[in-house]
Amino acid sequence: MELYNKLYTDFRQNYTMNIALTIILQSCIGSIAAMYILMNSTQESFQIVQLSLCVIVSMLYNATIFAQLKTKTVFNALILSLVVNVALIIVNVAQLM
């Protein structure tokens, strides 16, 4: 919890700068996740669910920024987006091997 509070404090203090950086970061991670999901074509219905999840969490983060929600909500959406997309990358890379 101490790490979360430290990261949130840093995020809040440099909010304007972090918004631009994190949009680029989460967009790159999300597109990498989408690439691996599309490369892994073992089960088509499961692939659609994974791709939908990837797009939804990535767009959720962008929506929280555009809606100008509280910084804590934006930060939590960023963490959710990164965790879900990294998990999708790991799952699909493991299936490709």
Query: For residue range 14-62, what is the model confidence (pLDDT) as tens digits?
Result: 999 999 999 999 999 999 999 999 998 777 888 899 999 999 999 999 9
What residue spans define the domains of the chain? 2-96
pLDDT category, 90, cuts 50, 70, 90?
very high
DSSP 43: -
What are the structure tokens assigned to 94, written together? Answer: 């493991």
**Cα 8 to Cα 10: distance, rounded to the nearest angstrom:** 5
pTM of this prediction? 0.90
What are the structure tokens assigned to 34, written together? Answer: 């989408």
What are the structure tokens assigned to 76, written together? Answer: 């939590």
Residues in contact with 82: Cβ distance below 8 Å, sequence separation at least 6, in sequence order: 25, 26, 29
The number of residues making up the chain comes to: 97
What are the structure tokens assigned to 11, written together? Answer: 């995020």
